[in-house]
Structure 1
Amino acid sequence: MTVRPIRIAVQVQPQHAPYEKIRDVAAELEDMGVDVLFNWDHFFPLYGEKDGLHFESWTMLAALAEQTSRVEIGALVNCNSYRNADLQADMARTIDHISAKGGTGRFIFGTGSGWFERDYDEYGYEFGTVGSRLNDLGDALPRIEARWEKLNPAPTRKIPVLIGGGGEKKTLRLVAKHADIWHSFSDGPTLERKLGILAQHGEAVGRDVSEVEISTEIGNRSLEEVEEQVALGASLFTIGIGGPDYDLSGIAEWLSWRDDKNASR
């Protein structure tokens, strides 16, 4: 098993808060020492008042790329359905450069097949089926990778691809073929089973999936449950926070836990 440093991410949900608040929270989180800042790619709130304040993902990520200097940034996750594949690649490359500040970019291309039907209906996208959306993602990923090879200037680094989702037949096969990071909401036993399935897909496509970083949620999990996931190979853990009053309590404790774990690895 590849031993990676433990990393803590915070998903700043872009809902129910003015942008100024989101910007200030992002700055505070970077100062606290979190490793990754995520938002999400939706057009309406997922929780609370359904027509409450909400902001678009990619334009926000470009602003965060300029604002920050250390943390990695990305969507958890981008919806493949909303943008042409080659455009997604170009947008990702541009944010990669914005975030580089003369060095290496900090953008993570987190992506998935989409699921929130209201986004599709109100913005005029075809919702299709779970299967058709996953097929579209499978078609898009090679185009995105190919476009990165053609862009001038090229990305500053191999942009990490994070794929979100736990589907065992299609999603995990896409993870085995394309992902640098796999994100799911799995508990310990589920994660262990799905990692076995991921390894089978890796064998089928000729890839050692130990190269894939395992990402999951802290959520309401206990320290014991998170430690169980670490033992299974997970190393990137996300805490989700939502507006209008983003609760940062508890994050410092998880950062301290991260530091202690990394000191002993």
Structure 2
Amino acid sequence: MRRQRPGPLGRRLPPVFQALALALALCAAAAPALAGSAGDNAAARPFADKPLAAPHIHVDSPAQFLKWSGKPVQQDDDPGRVFKKTRLGTLAFGPNLRVHLDAIQNTVHFPSSYQLVDAASGALLGSYEVFDLDDAEWYFAGNGAAYLNQTHLSLCGQRSTRKIAQRGKALVEVAQPLSYIGVDSTVEQATALYDSPTSRTVVATVAAGSTVHVIGLLPGKSAQARDKLALLVKTPFGLTGWHRLDYGKGEAGLAIYQCN
């Protein structure tokens, strides 16, 4: 069964989809086994050499993070039923910018999210969806940049890293030309590879049952682009080409998109 895409935040899923979410959580937990090497496991936690200020929160210096000891923060919509908000602490993000880090647990299905809030004005600076709160690993460099390593919401158990940068008093996510994946995947059906993410010029075709190496993922421009992903793939013969996932055209080909 092909993995279902996350629904809009706040929407309750029927029991069958809640069961699917549980199955996906088990798949994500098994991701290191899919990767199959110590090097892949190390890549899944790239901030392990940075000081740990709190669970899943790495910093450049422990003095950079202050654990929250004030009143509990309020959840704006559907309080106490679907979402549970916890303010984890306050961070020195960069020049003249301190932020609160809030964890938003989705108690019904997935995704959950983290929010960065301007500590001075209370303005929401950014919201970042994750499979679940324990899946995410943060590193706050203290120089105006933060990094979020997480399971990719559109792939089965594979991880990627996002960069968030300070622009004045605002935060922006830095677009990457390619998100590194670096994992092998089984070919479920004969699959064409193209010379660019948008081209239909075939450079190679991989046979069902073969194994390809997924080098990286072309990040989508928006949440709506999640079902049209492009993967840079290396074939067993060492050729490279792009495989574009387009569910509307039935081009799913690789097991990396599926959890069972």
TM-score of the pair, normalised by structure 1: 0.26
TM-score of the pair, normalised by structure 2: 0.26
Pick the structure with greater CA Rg: 2
**Does 1 or 2 have the higher relative contact order (CA < 8 Å, sep 6+)?**
1
Greater strand share, 1 or 2?
Answer: 2
Greater helix share, 1 or 2?
Answer: 1
